[in-house]
Amino acid sequence: MQGSKDIKAVALISSDGLMLHSNISDINPDKVAALSAAVLGLAKKSASEMNFGGLNEVQIRGEDATYIILSIGVKKLLTLIVSSQANIGMINILTRETVKSLSEDI
């Protein structure tokens, strides 16, 4: 995924938490994969229990970065770590285009 200097890391992860591909270097990629799958799974369960309908995305905003996890079908997810200064609207446009493209490849 190209187009934003604010995207610090991107990872393609299986729904069971295995790293498939990433450019993560300053954090343990396997830990990011496992945590991403767990966070998305818990968020989906929470949304279901509260009758929110389907859930496809989770964003966690911290002081220094935003952690974004998106579903790609039922078997994969895309995780991004972006700068806290990032234009989240632009990041959302880029990620949705990427998810659509990756979904077509599955």
Write out pLDDT tens, residues 65-75.
Answer: 999 999 998 89
Mean pLDDT on 16-39? 95
The fold for domain 7-92 equals: Beta-Lactamase (3.30.450)
Q: What are phi and psi of 53, to 5 degrees?
A: 85, -165
Q: How far apart are the first and last CA of the chain?
A: 17
Write out pLDDT tens, residues 36-63.
Answer: 999 999 999 999 999 998 888 999 999 9
All structural domains of the chain with their residue ranges: 7-92
Tell me, what's the pLDDT at 95?
A: 85
Is the pLDDT confidence value at 4 over 80? no
Q: How far is CA 85 from the centre of its chain?
A: 18
